[in-house]
Structure 1
Amino acid sequence: MSLVKLMDTITIAISVTDRHASARWYKDMLGFEALYHADDAGWSELQTNTAGVTIGLGEHTKPAPGNSVPVFGIADLVSARQQLEQAGVRFDGPNDVIEGMVQTATFYDPDGNALMLAEDLTGRA
C-alpha cells in the first residue's frame, strides 16, 4: 500500500525555449496534439499517443538540457504533501498555485531526482 494515492494521469514536464515551436515539432515528429497553450503561465500541454500521459512544455530562457520532470496527478495535493513530508520526503519550497488552473509541488527522490505532484483546479479532473 502506498502512502498517497495518485491519479491515473502523468505529465512529463520538459523545459523548452519556445513552447509553440516545440509543440509543432512534437506534432510533426511524434503525432502529439496540443491540448492548450497557457501563454500567461508559460506552459503548453500536449496529448501523447498513450492514454493518461501528456507532455508539458515549460518555457524558459535557458532550459536545462535533458531536463524532464514526471508530474503525477493527485486529487488532494495539500493532504498528500503533508503525508509525504511526515515520511521525510524533501520538497522544493511552497506549493505553486495558478488560480483556476493548477496547484503543484516539486519534491525529490532519495537520489535528488525532481518529481512533481499536480492538482487540477479547473474542475475538469
Structure 2
Amino acid sequence: MPAISLENTITIAMSVRDRHASAAWYADMLGFELIFHADEAGWSEVQTKTPGVTIGLGEAVEPAPGNCVPVFGTADLDAGRAQLEAAKVRFDGPTEVIDGMVKTATFYDPDGNALMLAQDLTGG
C-alpha cells in the first residue's frame, strides 16, 4: 500500500485552558506569531519559526498536558534556556548532552505541555 499524500505542513495540536493567554505566551517566550483565533470553534493557531509548522491551541476545561512534545532546533540551547528560565519557565531537570550528537532540554508551557529545545552537536 502506498503512503498517503501529505502536504508540507504540520500542526501540533495541544489542549489549553485559555487559548488567548497561551497564544500570548508562545509569542512572548518563543517569538511565535498569532495566525488566528477561531473563538466559535475554541481554536487558535500560532506560526512557529519553521515554515509550514504551526501549533494549534484547543481550549478545554481540563487540558490534557503532555499529549505531544514538539522539539524546536536552536543554535545556542544554553542561551535559549537561560532566557526562558529568566522568565520563570519551568524545565524538567538539567540539560541532557549526548556528546557529538545533540543537546536537549525539556520545558513546560503554563498548562504543563512539554516542549523541548535541541541543539545539533554533529557539526553538520
Q: What range is the shorter-chain TM-score in?
A: 0.5 to 0.7
TM-score by length of 1: 0.53
Q: Distance in 2 between matches of 1:43 and 1:2?
A: 32
Q: Distance in 1 between matches of 2:35 and 2:11?
A: 12
CA contact (8 A) 1:14 1:69 kept: no
Query: Superposed, which structure 2 residues align to 1:1-125 within 5 Å?
Result: 2-68=2-68
Superposition CA RMSD, Å: 1.9
Q: Distance in 1 between matches of 2:53 and 2:3?
A: 22
Residue 3 (structure 1) shift: 2.2
Distance 1:28 1:2, change over 3 A: farther
CA contact (8 A) 1:34 1:46 kept: yes
Residue 59 (structure 1) shift: 0.3
Q: Distance in 2 between matches of 1:69 and 1:57?
A: 14
Q: 1:42-73: per-residue Cα shift (whole Å, max 9, x none)?
A: 00000000000000000000011212399xxx
Q: Percent identity?
A: 70
Say how many residue pairs are matched: 70
Q: Distance in 2 between matches of 1:69 and 1:39?
A: 25
Q: Which blocks of at least 5 consecutive residues in structure 2 are unaligned?
A: 71-124
Q: Which blocks of at least 5 consecutive residues in structure 1 are unaligned?
A: 71-125
Q: Which has the larger radius of gyration?
A: 2
Structure 1 segments of 4 or more deviating over 2 A?
A: none
Structure number with the higher strand fraction is: 1
Give the match's secondary structure for 1:51: coil
Distance 1:32 1:2, change over 3 A: farther
TM-score by length of 2: 0.53
